Structure 1
Amino acid sequence: MLALTILLTACGFRLQGTTPLPFERLSITIPDNTQFGADVRRAIRAASPDTVIVSNEPLLKGEKPNFQAQLQQVSVSRNIREVSLNPQGRVEEYELTLIFTFRLVNARSEIILPDTTLVTVRDLPYDDNVVQAKEGEIATLFEQMQRSMVDRLMRRITSPDVIQTYERLERKAAQEK
């Protein structure tokens, strides 16, 4: 076991770990009174403990924003679609879809990450003899899909290209001053 560990570290292998966000103050327009909003905030705090999540209050005319970047929710939707019917015309399978569109902008409203849409789809076999159980299963599946969506969102906003774009915009703004 020790030899394997030494061999792996010698070749440069290391666990991915978390990538902190390049900004210290982040505003989020995803409602914080939803499970999805709470999960996003929790994931950001875990991945980037030095980043402070600031309140998303409207600015007065001429007032400067108190954030360096803002994660904006453009849209979110949940859809349930009938995929197949049995010979009696009853639903045999549903398709659950969760669609989330967001963008990341800086305090000057310059786009760091343009509108990005994340889609998660799950199939659910259905039996109308156990309606209550299937309704609970649908709710559980949507919760799992949201957690998966939060993970994908975090990977996207902490990606190297997003960090480089933010830093390039900040250097440009500093040169213009």
Structure 2
Amino acid sequence: MMNTRTHFFVILRLMTILCLLSVSLTACGFKLRGAFELPAELQKIYVAGPQHTDLVRDLKELLGYSAEVVSQRSDADAILTIKKEESENRTLSVDSRGKVRESEMQYSVIYSLVMANGQVLLDDQALLLVRDFINDENDIIGRTNESAVIARDLKRDAAQQILRHIQAVKVDAVVH
């Protein structure tokens, strides 16, 4: 059985190692997944648009890692507006019996970002994401699931691309 003094030094050594690991992770540029460095002028954002869509939920979640998502326009530094969302499926190829073999899923979004003072940072930006997938006629359940997974992934990817675009905005250049 360890005496109290030895136990204290073991705990102290573990705490020191933990602190050193934490410092080394932040020094190498490690960030939590989903965190974006937004300009200082964009720390309170209101997301306008259909509030119960996957895209708006993803945007709010991702923004929450880097800024404050406010529930009132009047509290915001900027307003991110989702103006239009559309999904479309297209057949790319069919087999000799006329069954769909390959499909394409398209997801498009139009959005804008305006400062609370009315200055437009991003005006009606269009984003189009496209994914192809193979339809396996022997796996109807898998095909249906794959389609739903691809649709969900497209919305997550769109949210990340929108935030990367916001991250790249030079607010000072627009404000002055």
TM interval, shorter chain, is 0.7 to 0.9
Secondary structure of residue in 1 paired with 2:75: coil
> Counterpart of 2:165?
156
Q: Distance in 1 between matches of 2:165 and 2:173?
A: 18
5 Å-filtered alignment, 1:23-172, equals 23-46=42-65, 48=66, 51-56=67-72, 65-159=74-168, 162=169, 164=170, 166-170=171-175, 172=176
**Given the alignment of the two structures, is residue 19 of structure 1 paired with residue 37 of structure 2, yes or no?**
yes
Shift, 1:35, TM fit: 2.3
Q: Work out the percentage of aligned pairs sharing the same amino acid.
A: 22
CA distance, structure 2, for counterparts of residue 15 and residue 117 of structure 1:
31
More helix by share: 2
Larger radius of gyration: 2
Give the residue type in structure 1 aligned to 2:109. Answer: F
Task: Determine if contact 1:24/1:52 at 8 Å carries over to the other structure.
Answer: yes
Contact 2:38 2:166 in 1 (8 A): no
Q: CA deviation at 1:126?
A: 0.8
TM-score by length of 1: 0.72
Residue by residue, what CA displacement relative to the aligned partner does 1:150-172 show, whole Å, maximum 9, x if unpaired? 2211111001xx1x2x23444x4
Give the alignment's Cα RMSD to 1 decimal. Answer: 2.2
Partner SS, residue 79 of structure 2:
strand
Alignment partners' CA distance in 2, 1:16 and 1:100: 30
Q: Secondary structure at the match of 2:96?
A: coil
Aligned partner letter, 1:43: L
Q: Give CA deviations for 1:47-83 in whole Å, capped at 9, x if unaligned.
A: x1xx3212256xxxxxxx3322100112111111011
Query: Structure 1: how far apart are the matches of 2:90 and 2:109?
Result: 17
Instruction: Tell me, yes or no, if the aligned pair for 1:28 and 1:56 is still in contact at 8 Å.
Output: no
Gaps of 5+ in 1: 1-13, 58-64, 173-177
Q: Secondary structure at the match of 1:31?
A: coil
CA distance in 1, matches of 2:152, 2:71: 25
Distance 2:30 2:118 in 1: 31
Task: Return the letter of the residue paired with 1:129.
Answer: N
Which residue identity is paired with 2:172? E
- Rounded Cα–Cα distance in structure 2 between residues aligned with 1:15 and 1:66: 31
Q: Which runs of 5+ in 2 are unaligned?
A: 1-27
